[in-house]
Every structure is written in structure tokens, then in C-alpha cells.
Chain A
């Protein structure tokens, strides 16, 4: 089993969170876009509320533009992918250069776009899925578990914000518990209790400050 330093573990976790945040938001926007008038789609004002952003955009297009491309705003998808990419630069040897390349392609494709066009955005989603697939194929078991830990913490967080169906939350909790065993830390805490608090985010903070050896 590969060795992972505390620094690497922390970056793997954040890599997982930011990749998933980008992917999850792209999916939600895609659904919203294609179902603007249907009950399953969220109106953009509701979308803002779920993300905790003030809904002060001139219209839906301005909102989409900001949510996709405002790199300096931490809620934007480009910000998520930029941060994921920055982490991946550090982690190229750990996640494998194929996985790194898919993330780079996703980042470059999104960065090259100027206006929101869901057809053009589709390859970004494809590349992000390819990233997850490559990680499964190429990365060490503990590395995968650490990135996935970040991924499922993010999924759980967003599922809570957007008030997704219970089965999605349950799935996230199940995945988190599974990964805890691979990460060899299940013995430190009551897992269910840990995941009850802020969807595992509090627990992750503890993980990096107390449980893992700084």
C-alpha cells in the first residue's frame, strides 16, 4: 500500500471536493437549464438561495455567466476547477498523469469558453467523469479513498443544501463509511456520530488536525 503524507492527504481531500463541486453544479445547472419551466428544475433565484449567494443578478443569463466563469468568486464552477487543478499539479504523481490530464482538459475547456452554451460545456462534464474513471484505474487504494472522501463530503453537503431526496443522502453516508475503513481511521470515532455532524466536514477537520499525525 502506498505511503501518503499529511500534506498529500489534505490535498487529495480538497481535490475530491472541488472536482465534485464543479461536476455537481454543472449537472444541476444542466437540469435547471433543460427544465426551466418544469417542476423538477430550480429557478435561478432558488439556486442562489441553496448556495447561499445573494440573488442580485440582472437576469438568469447574468446569473449563469457568473456561476460559470467568475473565477474570483468561490461559488463559481471555474473557481472550483481552478482550485482542483492547482491541487492536482501537486498531486500529479499520486493521481497519475492520465488523471491529471483529464482534469487539465476539463479546466482548459471551461476556461476557454466565454458564454454559457450547454453543448460546449458537455465535454467538461465528460472530462470530469474521465478523471474519476482514471483515478479508479490508476491510483492507489488509499489515494482513491482519500479523494473519494472529499467527493462524498461534497456530495453530502450539496445534497443537504439543495434538499435532495433522502436516498441520495443515505448513499453519501454509506460511501463515506466505506472509505473510512480504507483510510484506517474508523477506530478513532463512532462513524455514524462523526458523519452526523455537518455531513462529515467537522470530522474531516478533526482528521487532519488531531487524528492524523501532524
Chain B
């Protein structure tokens, strides 16, 4: 009974409602409520459009509906202002790092990042050494994962500069709110987020050396195929597969069924570097575009994000990002990393091995929530095996303090429960760097779980950013 009186909790029963809880104390003087019936309608709205996130389970592809947590996350204007500044700063520095690594390598000479740490990273691609992408932009679209600790402090957990997915989900969810409860969303007031396809389109235009823009998808059985399709529709550009494009001489072309060809100037690719061009990378790739890299090297096509970006979002490089910000921009990092240790360094390795029981260990080669191990949950035997692996391959792991991040309200079968949630913020870099005033909030399905990844069954929420 006492719980239902707390701020943010709902009144039970069929006429119940949820009181929204803005981060950063915004809207303290006013209560914003979402009725249970609207929450049901929101879910039905998304079901109508088959908002899916595919999962491979037992070697079978399951195109499942992406669980939609209908109670939005709300971020206050001051809170977002700080996030925005910190995210722009971070992406700016990472972009400079990428240029440096593939050109002068001053950062290595100045020993900000150990040379062997870069060259031992599989995501470092010598194939693009000396290649300047159109307009000098590498990280066109970054998905930066953050969590908010119980005391309100935001921590960066991960940078995603290769093929970050997820923006389309809050985007279509926003359409649902505007349809189901327009009064609520305009009364808060929530910053408009539905401009995202235009923001992304502008980035593509900024770097396009000539020709049309396309979204390149690996195919129907990619987990995020819904997103590829949705963004292509909203941007008004063709969704293509590898064999819809061809390289002829200096340029890439889209092959129209009528027999004519259109030059392609910008490729928003949703496939990894290794599958992009079978003539340069994985020779068995049938989802790439043969000789695309030769056109890219000449600067005649922009690939979004740039090829070779993986070196900047490697979980080990993450450790150095505050130092990179200082090195390239002469500024202190506005947003903090979660406290991280690199077993690559002897001192850190010692610390990690002594504190395995309370740290979270991440395999730098894994993504999507895989390869994440909480030391506290391991048996003594398994902890010993992990320690051996760290001693044998120290570059493969990082150790992090466990951040007890905030739980948010989730409406589940006509009751409100709390689940841990992170935030993926999207930073777009064309002529300017901007942060999308929304984001993908991902939450864990199970009570107490800290794994929020969509590929591990997590759900998503829209993120409302309030204006001043």
C-alpha cells in the first residue's frame, strides 16, 4: 500500500494511470499521467505496424515483435543539455582519433594510446590507411550507450561507431504517442524528434560527392531489417541489397529495372566492414558490393559510417576516450566513463584479478550484451578459468566497476514494475555535430537483470526530452 503512494507509481485498477517521472527533477510542480487504456492503445498501435527485432534462437530466425515499454523515459532540459554537450565533445574527439589513426598517427607517437593496442585490434583496417572519407567525416552516426546511476550521474558505457541500430523504434513510437495521446505530449512540452530521418538525410547530403543516397541492407533476415526499411521510406531513398548496386569504373551505380543506371554518392550501409566488398574483405560475402572499396578510396562515394571505424569503438579503446578528448580538444571529458581497468596494463591486470568477484568483465570482441560476465555470479571454478583467460589474453578483456543503474517504470500486464534501463543516444556528424533530442531507452525484461540489449530479449521505450 505504501508503495502506491510513492511518486511515479500508478493507481491500480482499470481506470488506473502512470505518473511520468522526468529525470533531473523537471516538471516537479506538475503531474503528467498516462492512462492504462492509452498504454494499451500504444501497444496496439505498434503491433499494427509489426515493429520487429529479429532474434536467432536455436539457429532459427524469429522475427519477433520488439517489446515496447509504453511508459516513456522523460529527460529534463538541463539534464539533456549536459548530455548533449558531452556527447558532441566525445564524437568530435573520436572522429579526430579516426583520422589520426588512419593518417599521421600522432596519438601513437605521443603515447596517448599504446601502438600495439591499436594494431592488435581486429577492427583496425590497414586497407583504409591513408584514405580520407568524403568531407573528412568518419563517425556520421554514433550510438553512444549511457546509464544513469541511482544518484543521477550519467556514465558512458559504450561507443558504437560502426553500424549503430535502434533509432527507428523510438521514432515510430513517437508517432504512436502523437496519435494516441497528443494532448499529453504537447502539454509537457516534449521536444520534436520526428525530424530524425531528415537529420540523417542531411548528414548524407553533406558528405555525398555526387549521386543518389541509398540504404544498403544485408537482407530480410537481419535483426534490424524493419529499421532499414523504415528509415529508407522516411528518408525517401531506395533500400538496396548488394546485388542492386554495381561498380563500373570510377563510380557505384544503382541498377534500375528499366535498364538505366543512377550514380550512387552515399551509402548508408547496415552491414559490417568485413562483408562490404568481397574483393577486399571477406571473399565469400554475397551481401556486399564488389569493388565498392576502390570507389571509396577515390572519394567518389561516401560510406556511412566510414570503413574502419571499429578501432574507435573497441571496448579497450573506450578506456582511452577521456584522454583522447584531452589530447585532441584540450578539454576535460564532460561525460564520465564507467570506472574501467585494462588487464593489458600490468597494474590494472593485478587489480582485475584481485577483484574479479565484484567486477564485470567484458570480452572486447563481443557485442550485443554477449561476452559480459559478472564476477559475483561466477562459481569459484569459473572465476579461476576466467582469471586464466585474462592472464593468457589480457588484450581481450576489460574490467569495469558495476554501475548500479537506475530502474525505470515498465507497464507490464496492467501493473507497473521497475526494470533497469540504459539509453542509446544518437549523435549525427555532417557539416556540424548534433544530438538527436530523443534516443533509444532499452530495458531488461527480468527483475534485477542488467542486460538490456535488444538481441538478448530486452525491450525499448521512447525517450522524451523536455524543452526549456
Among A21-29, A37-45, A99-107, A117-125, the stretch in contact with B: A99-107
Cβ contact within 8 Å between B50 and A6? no
| Known A93-B233, A101-B48, A104-B48; contact A7-B258, beta-carbon cutoff 8 A | no
Cβ contact within 8 Å between A3 and B254? yes
Of residues 197 through 244 on chain B, the ones whose CB sits less than 8 Å from some CB of chain A are 212, 220, 225-226, 229-230, 232-233, 238-241, 243-244
CB distance from A180 to the nearest CB of B (A): 13
| Known A92-B233, A93-B229; contact A184-B258, beta-carbon cutoff 8 A | yes
CB < 8 Å: which of B225, B244, B254, B259 contacts A212? B259
Beta-carbon nearest neighbor of A185 in chain B: B258
Q: How far is the CA of A177 from the CA of B256 in the complex (A)?
A: 21
Return chain B residues, CB-CB under 8 Å to A185. 258
Question: Per-position contact with B for A4-30: 1 when CB-CB < 8 Å, else 0?
Answer: 111111000000000000000000000
| Known A5-B254, A213-B255; contact A92-B48, beta-carbon cutoff 8 A | no
**Quick check: is B49 within 8 A (CB to CB) of the other chain?**
yes
Cβ contact within 8 Å between A5 and B244? yes
User: Which of B220, B230, B232, B256 is most buried by chain A, counting CB atoms within 10 A of its CB?
Assistant: B256
Of residues 79 through 136 on chain A, the ones whose CB sits less than 8 Å from some CB of chain B are 89-90, 92-94, 96-97, 100-101, 104-105
Cβ contact within 8 Å between A92 and B255? no
Cβ contact within 8 Å between A6 and B233? no
Question: Per-position contact with A for B253-281: 1 when CB-CB < 8 Å, else 0?
Answer: 01111110010000000000000000000
Return chain A residues, CB-CB under 8 Å to B240. 5
| Known A7-B244, A93-B229, A97-B233; contact A104-B257, beta-carbon cutoff 8 A | no
Cβ contact within 8 Å between B239 and A101? no
User: Main secondary structure on chain B at its contact with chain A?
Assistant: mixed
Return chain B residues, CB-CB under 8 Å to A8. 244, 257
Q: Tell me the count of chain A residues lying within 8 A, CB to CB, of chain B.
A: 24
| Known A92-B229, A93-B230; contact A105-B258, beta-carbon cutoff 8 A | no
| Known A3-B212, A100-B49; contact A212-B238, beta-carbon cutoff 8 A | no
Return chain A residues, CB-CB under 8 Å to B255. 5-6, 213
Beta-carbon nearest neighbor of A184 in chain B: B258
Q: How far is the CA of A9 from the CA of B257 in the complex (A)?
A: 7
Q: How far is the CA of A96 from the CA of B232 in the complex (A)?
A: 10
Q: How far is the CA of A104 from the CA of B243 in the complex (A)?
A: 28
CB distance from B268 to the nearest CB of A (A): 13
CB distance from A111 to the nearest CB of B (A): 13
CB distance from A155 to the nearest CB of B (A): 23
Return chain A residues, CB-CB under 8 Å to B262. 3
Cβ contact within 8 Å between A97 and B258? no
Cβ contact within 8 Å between A105 and B48? yes
Return chain B residues, CB-CB under 8 Å to A7. 241, 243-244
Cβ contact within 8 Å between B257 and A90? no
CB < 8 Å: which of B225, B233, B238 contacts A3? B238
Cβ contact within 8 Å between B243 and A93? no
Return chain A residues, CB-CB under 8 Å to B226. 92
User: Which of A2, A5, A6, A183 is most buried by chain B, counting CB atoms within 10 A of its CB?
Assistant: A5
Cβ contact within 8 Å between B230 and A97? yes
Beta-carbon nearest neighbor of B49 in chain A: A101
Cβ contact within 8 Å between B241 and A104? no
CB distance from B263 to the nearest CB of A (A): 12
Question: Per-position contact with B for A155-192: 1 when CB-CB < 8 Å, else 0?
Answer: 00000000000000000000000000001110000000
Return chain A residues, CB-CB under 8 Å to B254. 3, 5
CB < 8 Å: which of A4, A93, A105, A183 contacts B232? A93
Return chain A residues, CB-CB under 8 Å to B232. 93
Return chain A residues, CB-CB under 8 Å to B212. 3
Return chain B residues, CB-CB under 8 Å to A213. 255, 257, 259
Cβ contact within 8 Å between B220 and A5? no
CB distance from A178 to the nearest CB of B (A): 17
Beta-carbon nearest neighbor of B262 in chain A: A3
User: Which of A3, A4, A7 is most buried by chain B, counting CB atoms within 10 A of its CB?
Assistant: A3
Q: How far is the CA of A90 from the CA of B228 in the complex (A)?
A: 10
User: Which of B63, B241, B256, B257 is most buried by chain A, counting CB atoms within 10 A of its CB?
Assistant: B257
Return chain A residues, CB-CB under 8 Å to B48. 101, 104-105
CB distance from B157 to the nearest CB of A (A): 32
CB distance from B257 to the nearest CB of A (A): 4
CB < 8 Å: which of A5, A90, A100, A183 contacts B238? A5
Q: Would you give 6 A-B contacts (Cβ < 8 Å), ordered by A? A: A7-B243, A92-B226, A97-B233, A212-B258, A212-B259, A213-B259
Q: Which 5 interchain pairs have the tightest Cβ spacing?
A: A93-B233, A5-B244, A93-B232, A9-B257, A92-B229
Seed contacts A104-B50, A183-B258; 16 additional CB < 8 Å A-B pairs: A3-B256, A3-B262, A4-B257, A5-B240, A6-B244, A6-B255, A7-B243, A8-B257, A90-B220, A90-B229, A93-B230, A94-B239, A96-B233, A101-B48, A104-B49, A185-B258
